[in-house]
Structure 1
Amino acid sequence: MTRKVFVAGVGMIPFKKPGASDTYDNMGAAAVRQALADAGVDYADVQQAYAGYVYGDSTSGQKALYQVGMTGIPVINVNNNCATGSSALFLARQAVASGVVECALAVGFEFMQPGALKSRWDDRALALERAMALTIDLVGQPELPSAIRQFAGAGYTHMQKYGTKLETFAKIRAKASRHAANNPLAVFRDVLSTEDVMNAPILWDGVITRLMACPPTCGAAAAVVMSEEFARKRGLRTDVLIAGQAVTTDLPSTYDARDMIRVVGADMVKLGAKQVFEQTGVGPQDVDVIELHDCFAHNELLTYEALGLCEAGGAEKLVNDGDNTYGGKWVTNPSGGLLSKGHPLGATGLAQCFELTHQLRGTADKRQVAGARNALAHNIGLGGACVITLFQKQD
């Protein structure tokens, strides 16, 4: 039997550039304290905790949580590449939904170093070895960092297939900056024009400029989830329901189709979205606000199509029609997204939860999407993992 699970409390600290943040354990503890206070519970009420991070030693989750309390509960450390934060949320929700616990905590944090993402291990096979080799085969550009090569390569494929213009990706980045200007927790709050993005240093001529890629970021976010019975017994809030959630991984087509759009996860996104829409009876047309994984402006555009917001090849028109911002069909990344809010890998999925919880509560201040009732989160990590979550406002 699956029980209803509610997001009762959320916390998030301001994201910072590498070198400007606190330590990972202090950041994680701060986000947890916020989430507990927001939920109106003590750490002693939490029965299980899931701590997400990508770059850190084993049991870093305990290091952060022990600052808040030492109650002997299970603390599970989670690493699912860039989908780590939402994977931690999935596990916390699953524990409550299954009846194993009444109240669970998910926290994500990351203490990142400047520069492109890279493995910290040089004595074993890379997890992304197959994807990296196929990317080189399909698009070349061996001199570029792998993440840029993969996501920009997928964007290049879209340009070749559908005639998508480089300016369209620049418009997405400019939109992110306008949204982030209203988010005091975002690392970059300066408003950029489309021209600013186009005139930024070139990373791959005709395909990507530097401003189309998200920055390495440090930060933390957390969420407390609980059963309806637990919440009502204590007089706690039940206004944000996790109505549906799915975790998917790569399919054979990720590699067999020899298509860069699939290499960066389009098929697992489509599968996850299908599962969540079937679970909830909600379709793309019913969604009001979306936090999606815009690690590159290119991936935001690709995700519009993978989530079913438009047909394949239709994303450029969606952008040009303004259907990805206020006044359009959907508001995507009101927080500023990874491009402007920042991308501390382990915290990103929970930062999405933070934003969408406030959107559904009506407490998002200048970022508020009027009348938001259905909120969708999309968090993806190559290697691969995709987490799709539908949050719903409850009266």
Structure 2
Amino acid sequence: MHPHPSGVRTQTARRRGLSKAPARATLYVRLYSSPRAGGRAVREPVYVLGGSQTDFARNWSKDSDNALYEMLEEAVAGCLDATGVAPEKVETAHVANFGAELFAAQAHLGAMVPMLQPSWSSLPTSRHEAACASGSTAVLAAMAEIEAGRYDLALVAGLELMRNVHSEQAARHLGSAAWTREETGDDVLPWPGLFDRIAGEVERRHGLDRTHLTRIAEINRANARRNPLAQTRAWTNDAAQFGDDEVVNPVVAGRIRKSDCGRITDGAAVVLLASRRFAEQWARRRSAPQAGVIRGWGHRTAPLPLAAKLALSADGGYLFPNVRQAITDAYRRAGIDGPRELDVIETHDCFTVNEYVALEHFGLTEPGRAWEAVEDGRIEFGGSLPVNPSGGLIGAGHPVGATGVRMLLDAHRQVTGTAGGYQVDGARTAATLNIGGSCSTAVSFVVGAAE
């Protein structure tokens, strides 16, 4: 089955000769009456009108005394400009942020939004935190308000300031998203250590060849060079940076080398989400309507400690069942069978092993065989299912609270053909995966082109 109301098959489906889309009436029932968890129906789709992000290479604290506010201001202004939406049309706002209290001694970020526009002086706002999945949970909250009929237009912003402190202090702040009572201790770099444990578990269960992790890093860094807002777009990518040279590419923790790690990043991303009624009115006013639609979503949360999560999958199968459930929930709600109906994926690669594990959780391979998707080239930019054409977290950057919003924005750009130099040819259906902590919070979206 195919999710597009227009009946147009995805690029992947065309290549593989899949059957044509079902009738429009059947699609209406599937898209607008799909069962929720708990049996309730989704009555209306939620549209992505567009958005904006800041330059993830910028170090905001170097030239700004009020960096959090100013990066939010810039991204919101860019979003309104990109979509052509008047500020007074925005009815609600959701802000995603992980650690402003730790990095900038600033809380209550939702109240920054009413400072941006005179018409927003009493705008209802909320702030959301779910570690690195904060952005996606903010999107879910905004979607729920639109689906419930409370509002027709919601602004979702994600932002993070992290380069204003020493890298070791930043790492300790980020470590607060782990089970701090047991998992972080005196470790200066908690997250490389925890993801080395994940790599070790993959190796124990299935075997792990380091060359596959290296290839993931190479692909994402190469992709980032096409992205004008990526943190590493101007970096050199010589072989030594991905090799075993202890000076150029030192071991950070166990199996994790420098090239395997995402970077400390400043940045913000903003999208506008709309009801069908607003999206249709918006499209009529534009000469070239470019909207995406969130066709499916999944959200699952597992226990905070890594050991507790690994115990849940001790009998085999997928390493993180909650991650697999979030993805398959998104597939089910979108009415698609799996990755064979996708054209592009934006996934969470805070470390290369996280993308490696995600490949099998998306269903590209059977559990324990993610290496196949790396070796056969399908995840490369010109492959049959490109992964992280933006550069991902390793290449594009990872301002924690902004990442989930940035992923949704990039999915929208891909399916509307507006991704510029990193556009995947013919992309019509995209999926995202945003995780928080050591894969505790998992949120996935399936985004399609609105016809």
| Equivalent residue in structure 1 for 2:182, among 124, 133, 150 | 133
Structure 1 residues 147, 260: closer, same or farther in 2, change over 3 A?
farther
Residue pair 2:300, 2:443 contacting (<8 A) in 1 also: yes
| Equivalent residue in structure 1 for 2:155, among 105, 117, 131 | 105
Which residue identity lines up with residue 103 of structure 1 in the other structure?
Answer: L
TM-score normalised over the length of structure 1: 0.89
Structure 1 residues 388, 265: closer, same or farther in 2, change over 3 A?
farther
**2:73 equivalent to 1:32:** no
User: Could you list the per-position Cα deviations for residues 73-129 of structure 1 after superposition, in whole angstroms to 9, with x for gaps in the alignment?
Assistant: 11101111100111111111121122111111100111103425556599xxx6632
Residue pair 1:33, 1:68 contacting (<8 A) in 2 also: no
Residue pair 2:54, 2:269 contacting (<8 A) in 1 also: yes
What SS does structure 1 have at the residue aligned with 2:378?
A: coil
C-alpha distance in 2, partners of 1:350/1:253? 25
Which residue identity lines up with residue 158 of structure 2 in the other structure?
Answer: G
Which residue identity lines up with residue 375 of structure 2 in the other structure?
Answer: N
C-alpha distance in 2, partners of 1:135/1:313? 28
Q: How many residues in Structure 1 have an aligned counterpart in Structure 2?
A: 384
Structure 1 residues 39, 265: closer, same or farther in 2, change over 3 A?
farther
Structure 1 residues 173, 260: closer, same or farther in 2, change over 3 A?
farther
Residue pair 1:324, 1:331 contacting (<8 A) in 2 also: yes
Matches within 5 A, 1:12-31: 12-16=53-57, 18=59, 19-20=61-62, 22=64, 23-31=67-75
| Equivalent residue in structure 2 for 1:197, among 236, 239, 242 | 242
User: Could you list the per-position Cα deviations for residues 349-384 of structure 1 after superposition, in whole angstroms to 9, with x for gaps in the alignment?
Assistant: 111122111111112122111111110011010173
What SS does structure 2 have at the residue aligned with 1:318?
A: helix
C-alpha distance in 2, partners of 1:21/1:169? 36
In the TM superposition, residue 61 of structure 1 has moved relative to its aligned partner by: 2.9
C-alpha distance in 2, partners of 1:253/1:285? 33
Residue 292 of structure 1 corresponds to which residue in structure 2? Answer: 347
In the TM superposition, residue 253 of structure 1 has moved relative to its aligned partner by: 10
Residue 222 of structure 1 corresponds to which residue in structure 2? Answer: 270
C-alpha distance in 2, partners of 1:74/1:25? 18
**2:210 equivalent to 1:155:** no
C-alpha distance in 1, partners of 2:411/2:205? 33
Residue 139 of structure 1 corresponds to which residue in structure 2? Answer: none
C-alpha distance in 1, partners of 2:275/2:310? 44
C-alpha distance in 2, partners of 1:357/1:258? 33
Residue pair 2:365, 2:372 contacting (<8 A) in 1 also: no
User: Could you list the per-position Cα deviations for residues 271-320 of structure 1 after superposition, in whole angstroms to 9, with x for gaps in the alignment?
Assistant: 10111111111112111111100000110001111222211111112101
C-alpha distance in 1, partners of 2:174/2:184? 21
Percent of residue pairs identical: 26
What SS does structure 2 have at the residue aligned with 1:322?
A: coil
Matches within 5 A, 1:298-337: 298-337=353-392
Residue pair 1:269, 1:386 contacting (<8 A) in 2 also: yes
Which residue identity lines up with residue 383 of structure 2 in the other structure?
Answer: G
C-alpha distance in 2, partners of 1:193/1:158? 28
Matches within 5 A, 1:1-395: 2-16=43-57, 18=59, 19-20=61-62, 22=64, 23-56=67-100, 57-69=106-118, 70-113=120-163, 114-116=166-168, 117-118=170-171, 128-129=178-179, 133=182, 143=187, 145-189=189-233, 190-193=235-238, 195-198=240-243, 199=245, 200-205=249-254, 207-234=255-282, 235=284, 237=289, 239-250=291-302, 255-256=307-308, 258=310, 266-282=320-336, 283-382=338-437, 384-395=440-451
RMSD between aligned residues:
2.7
What SS does structure 1 have at the residue aligned with 2:80?
A: helix
Q: Which runs of 5+ in 1 are unaligned?
A: 137-141
C-alpha distance in 2, partners of 1:356/1:21? 31
What SS does structure 2 have at the residue aligned with 1:326?
A: coil
Structure 1 residues 74, 212: closer, same or farther in 2, change over 3 A?
same
Q: Which runs of 5+ in 2 are unaligned?
A: 1-41, 101-105
C-alpha distance in 1, partners of 2:252/2:320? 23
Residue pair 2:46, 2:273 contacting (<8 A) in 1 also: yes
In the TM superposition, residue 52 of structure 1 has moved relative to its aligned partner by: 0.8
In the TM superposition, residue 394 of structure 1 has moved relative to its aligned partner by: 2.4
What SS does structure 2 have at the residue aligned with 1:325?
A: coil
Structure 1 residues 162, 5: closer, same or farther in 2, change over 3 A?
same
Structure 1 stretch displaced more, 351-360 or 112-121:
112-121
C-alpha distance in 1, partners of 2:399/2:304? 29
What SS does structure 2 have at the residue aligned with 1:72?
A: coil
Structure 1 residues 169, 64: closer, same or farther in 2, change over 3 A?
same
In the TM superposition, residue 266 of structure 1 has moved relative to its aligned partner by: 2.1
What SS does structure 1 have at the residue aligned with 2:398?
A: coil
In the TM superposition, residue 204 of structure 1 has moved relative to its aligned partner by: 3.0
Residue pair 1:2, 1:97 contacting (<8 A) in 2 also: yes
